[in-house]
Structure 1
Amino acid sequence: MSDERHMVYAVATDLSALRAFVSARALALGLPEERAELLVLAVSELATNTLQHTGAGGEVTLRSDRGRLVCDVVDGLRDHRSTVALGRVMPPADALRGRGLAIVESICDEVETSVVGGSTRVRIHLNL
């Protein structure tokens, strides 16, 4: 059975409400509290990156599907031509950027990126 809800964010001041939404929704879908905290960290990183790099905000959707929590973070841009490459390896200590995306990949059970309707979608999965 799938159950789906979403929240739109547009500016940095929306991030606190977004984190609260993700936490409450993840717990309601059956994700243990410790894993819900990790999901909040991952979504916060992705949403912050969206705001910093696109200025367009985005939308977060959470649902359960076959024993997994599935969370989509979709940016508000409509003109992407390629997917975002996530940092699969933690950057060196002297790197200025890239740790956040590497953390997202390390704490989630699966991470996918795709272009949907011209927007970049990052889909993260956590086993319930």
Structure 2
Amino acid sequence: MADRVEDTMAYEVATDLRELRGFVSTQALAQGLAPHRVELLALAVSELATNTLQHTTGGGQVRLWAEADQLFCDVVDQGPARTFGRDMPAADAVRGRGLAIVERICDEVAVLSRPEGTVVRIRLGL
């Protein structure tokens, strides 16, 4: 992976989310992700970044890259590891849909603990 090119953007406050979605969309299109999948990726990243802003301090960072017909996106923050594999909350539930949505619209979701923080890595096929 030494020749991998990553595109990265940091976010710190809720007003950064619009720019973050634009960044993710632009970079994903440039990497060859189909437009309808770009919208799903932007939604997933927005959900994860919102989770960061609501439940951690210090903001986070998003990085994207493509490898072997796959687009990867890491959302990195200083929060605890997230738990995936949950059922979708009931329709009348006030909270709890964000991670369930991410898991359903991405091809793969993984949580990694790294020295830089907690990484939620999502993958979508190009």
Q: Which runs of 5+ in 2 are unaligned?
A: none
- Per-residue Cα deviation, 1:17-36 (whole angstroms, up to 9, x for no partner): 10100000000000000000
Give the count of matched residue pairs: 124
Distance (whole Å) between structure 2 residues aligned to residue 4 and residue 88 of structure 1: 30
Match of 2:112 among 87, 95, 114: 114
Amino acid at match of 2:36: E
Describe the SS at the equivalent of 1:124: strand
Q: Which runs of 5+ in 1 are unaligned?
A: none
Match of 2:96 among 94, 98, 115: 98
Q: Note the 1:1-80 alignment, pairs <5 A.
A: 2-75=4-77, 77=78
Describe the SS at the equivalent of 1:98: coil
After superposition, the CA RMSD in angstroms is 1.5
TM-score by length of structure 1 reads: 0.90
User: Taking every aligned residue pair, what percent have the same amino acid on both sides?
Assistant: 59
Distance (whole Å) between structure 2 residues aligned to residue 54 and residue 35 of structure 1: 28
Distance (whole Å) between structure 1 residues aligned to residue 82 and residue 8 of structure 2: 22
Report the CA distance between 1:100 and its aligned residue.
1.1
Give 4+ residue runs of structure 1 displaced > 3 Å after superposition: none
| Number of the residue aligned with 2:83 | 85
CA contact (8 A) 1:61 1:72 kept: yes
